[in-house]
Amino acid sequence: MLGALRSALVTPDLRRKILFTLGIIVLYRLGAMLPSPGVSYPNVQQCVEQTRNDSESIYSLLNLFSGGALLQLSVLSLGIMPYITASIIVQLLQVVIPRFEQLKKEGQSGQATLTQYTRYLTIALALLQATGITALAVRGQLFPGCTTEVIPDNSVLNLVVIVVTMTAGAALLMWMGELITERGVGNGMSLLIFTSIAARIPSQGASILNGQGGLVFAVVCVFGLAIITSVVFVEQAQRRIPVQYAKRMIGRRMYGGTSTYLPLKVNQAGIIPVIFASSLLYLPQLLGQLAGNQNTWWARFIQTYIVDPSSWVHILLYMAMIIFFAYFYVSITFNPEERADEMKKFGGFIPGIRPGRPTAEYLSFVLSRITLPGALYLGIIAVLPSFFLGLTGGGQGGMQSFMFGGTAILIMVNVGLDTVKQVESQLTQRNYEGFLR
């Protein structure tokens, strides 16, 4: 691996791409630590320390994707989450709206139009989210229990400046991610999420080491390595359906007659079901905070049973939602009828299965069978940290101190594998031996 890395660094164009990617990542981390104008940075730090457990339990997903910048109210505090949400919405609309479905089939030009729609929706979502976060900060509900004012000047002009700054930061981050995709190595948005999660690991590890001792820290590290190994194994697992292409005579040449396979991943849905489930679980408490009444029985029920990750109601509901969204997302992203029609168009068929509708039914049957273990795998990895809350300090704060949490490790492993494969493909083009042997 070191030899392959050395080969990548001595290749001028590949070295340029790697250095460009690293430069964008450094700028991103600097922007994540730069406070927004009008926000008192010392007061924010004081409130973060006082209400770390409660505040992070509510906004853990958003704070995770921003690398901890959300609760710092920094320039890039919104992170890449608005873009992720916009991308998911546009992808779902491709199934619902015929216009979007037609754009998807138009190729590169249609994809460019969909990308433009995603950018517009990202700005709108960023504006809405920045307004909500600023309103919670002004009302003192962003950090429950902290009486220090994080925004001393509550004038309309100052609040507008903060909202515009955060929205512009989200747009800047979207542009930086696209730059990495075009001129760097790997998928830009995924690498920015990877960087956000990885940036929190040292502080979380130090918190466990100082608070629980070296033995607990060693156990957590061993357990984390076991999770990484299992995630890599499942993410690489796939069901290969053999496909045979018939021989065809075109002019005086014969085409086809080859054998290949159609790979169906066990985790066909990726990380999307976990994101959907996490967002919906924290949505009731967020709406309750915006309503401003936390003393009602339903607010206490949500806090005790729905949001608390150590609650069995939370665990079972989380698992059920992940399984549901896994089937739902696979059903809208993989169309067996389209795959069957494409195979039939190019003279391909599955041995023993007739082309057309029987092929589509067979693909749907296989996909439904392999989606269940993939969904269970996602659910188990996502809820595993809940069983180790007592080990890392218990309560909702322990959830955030667990540096190998399910969502974080799934994202990091997926992005890491994808980036290594892209570097491997570029090295292979130059006759170098890459990372994966």
- What tens digit of pLDDT does each residue of 159-194 get? 899 899 999 999 999 999 889 988 888 888 888 888
**Confidence band (pLDDT; 50, 70, 90) for 242?**
confident
pLDDT of residue 120: 93
pLDDT of residue 224: 78
pLDDT of residue 390: 45
Q: What's the average model confidence in pLDDT over 290-309?
A: 64
% of the chain at pLDDT higher than 70: 76
Q: What's the average model confidence in pLDDT over 125-137?
A: 86
**Confidence band (pLDDT; 50, 70, 90) for 112?**
confident
Lowest mean pLDDT among 11-15, 97-101, 142-146: 142-146
Q: Which of 350, 322, 352, 321 is nearest to 336 (CA)?
A: 350
pLDDT of residue 434: 47
Task: Concatenate the DSSP letters of all residues of 268-314 into one string.
Answer: TTTTHHHHHHHHHHHHHHHHHHHHT---SHHHHHIIIIII-TTSHHH
> Is residue 55 located within the same domain as residue 173?
yes
Q: What's the average model confidence in pLDDT over 107-132?
A: 88
> Is residue 228 located within the same domain as residue 342?
yes
For strands 259-265 and 248-250, give the pairing: unpaired
> Is residue 122 located within the same domain as residue 235?
no
Cβ 65 vs Cβ 81: under 8 Å: yes
Segments forming the whole domain that contains residue 317: 201-402
> Is residue 19 located within the same domain as residue 94?
yes
pLDDT of residue 425: 76
pLDDT at 144 over 60: yes
> Is residue 247 located within the same domain as residue 388?
yes
Q: 153: number of CA atoms within 13 Å, CB side?
A: 13
> Is residue 222 located within the same domain as residue 340?
yes
What is the overall mean pLDDT for the chain? Answer: 78
Number of domains in the chain: 2
The CATH number of residue 379's host domain is 1.10.3370.10
What is the per-residue pLDDT across 193-213, written as a single tens digit (0 to 9) for each? 888 888 777 777 777 778 777
CB atoms within 10 A of CB 71: 25
Widest CA span in the chain: 83
> Is residue 153 located within the same domain as residue 23?
yes
